[in-house]
Structure 1
């Protein structure tokens, strides 16, 4: 049951991130990329469980508890920090685009800043 709930939450996060990436607003696109990045990190952490017993820790015999792989946790922690930095940089670039063009609409930016009477 826990695996189903986790898979559903991860699927919803990936779907939400994809939905936001397909929007016209640059800020929503940045948040969509950030959500997908965090969903991938969550997936890696949940899959980083070793099923066997670790002899160094003394988990022997039947009923040995699963141990989480520390390498995956270290890599995901690094990915979180890098993701935070790139998200902050993308938001600063978005603010600069708004200052230069007066809009953050991707369609208007693609047309060279011309407004559309729709």
Structure 2
């Protein structure tokens, strides 16, 4: 039967170039569904940092300089499980939960640019 999934990636307002604090929030991911209990999410990048796709590197569109991004540790703590689909590990979360996307690792000196954040989101019915 058809399932519904609404996905919103909302950038944090007021982001600035320069040195940013570790784990600085840069966006939030909101996934809503009235029919699916959970969803899986992975960052899309040529440079995924971990096996579950929850941390990755993104290159600036103009400079090519990379920043490390990923799901916040608070978001990761709320994960329900890790599932394998098509040979790839996905972390799953409750539908209607909001996840924070943050700068990962130590404080980063972010060059002024546009950094495209792309995610795969799948509905999951345990």
Higher helix fraction: Structure 1 or Structure 2? 1
> Taking structure 1 as the reference length, what is the TM-score of the superposition?
0.22
Larger Rg over CA atoms: 1
Q: Select the structure with the greater relative contact order (CA < 8 A; seq sep ≥ 6).
A: 2
> Taking structure 2 as the reference length, what is the TM-score of the superposition?
0.22
Higher strand fraction: Structure 1 or Structure 2? 2
